[in-house]
Structure 1
């Protein structure tokens, strides 16, 4: 039995396309109940599952190919106060949103880039990372409020203290951290959706399935229910779950998603 430590679940500091808010409770219960010493997320996004878990094993690794995501986590962990100071004075308005959209992230400092990314993700419609538009909802207050964000960012900074943060292709993460005692949780781009900013076509799902078939550790994956996904991952255990997809404050759409596993222990 591998030792784990109880941790307080925290909220993601911004929305992200494909976030798992409505499935989080179920997925976290599965993950927390699965024996493992190393926990690895190759597609962490804004941490919709990672941050909501209640148990921490010996080692944790989060990864995202997005430089904005990896940079945000590194900056919040190491430079919390300068990050907060840089955010002071920003307000939710369309003109500022458009100005931030025009900035070149490569020309900014790491802290400025992290602030820009968080600002845009808090205000973008639907949590999209590409093709962002300014999102507003009637009767709902601003989603960018520094006073309210401080507590969530402080909790995130503390939660990340012992976490390894990577920015690699998922295949490199699987190869680098695979071991019998490792549990991978995977939340890849959903088949047939757009807005992730990376290409993930049919061949990529089949490539991922082949790699997962050869790992020594265990994996849990959540993904949308499509014929391609069922075909690519047919060799594994597939469970159907009902959930609701919501965008901003619009009414939810009932859908079926899949939880796919290779649990051997």
Structure 2
């Protein structure tokens, strides 16, 4: 048998066993074990190289995306522009969302596009202006009535007639009567003593007056003010209040109440 030359058995990149000489008898040699050992070693070496490459890319010393952008300024500029554009669109969408939140609830339930949102806002602004004017007018009317209840109706009456006002003062009580219209008037009673306002209201109803509202407040000096808003049941044009008589009736009623209180204090 001819001796096998090393040229007939290439290593194919595998490690040739040292114990295998040139004159070695290959008949009993296990080539399968050599193949498996060398294949396993090659595969492990390849996996190690891949892991080393991944670790290098993840490590701070490896090549990062920033280094790649530095190498390619066009790509870095494009990415920066895309980020700025994304932030700009996000801000615009937030502003439109805030604008849409100002609309009425009926419009919020609708999925309005951006042009429809702007159009609806332009329609809603005049509506709000009209509502503000309406509420301002109501506020002025309310303040006028409040001022009238406090005895200052003359500053807010727009009718071109002279208000008739008569005030009767006593040592502890005063009554002021102000005419607001053909059928409307306000009586203000101020006193330092406690009075039965229910008896005053009954007296006014007996004399043909309809009580609309009653309010009271107390000043720092201890004087109590009663504001009585009245309405007469006569027909318009025929209403003529006798303020002098009305004040006398009220003063007489208050004096009677005062005498009763004094008698109760004497017997108590």
Alignment TM class, shorter chain as reference: under 0.3
| TM-score computed with the length of structure 1 as normaliser | 0.22
Instruction: Compare the two structures and name the one with the higher helix fraction.
Output: 2
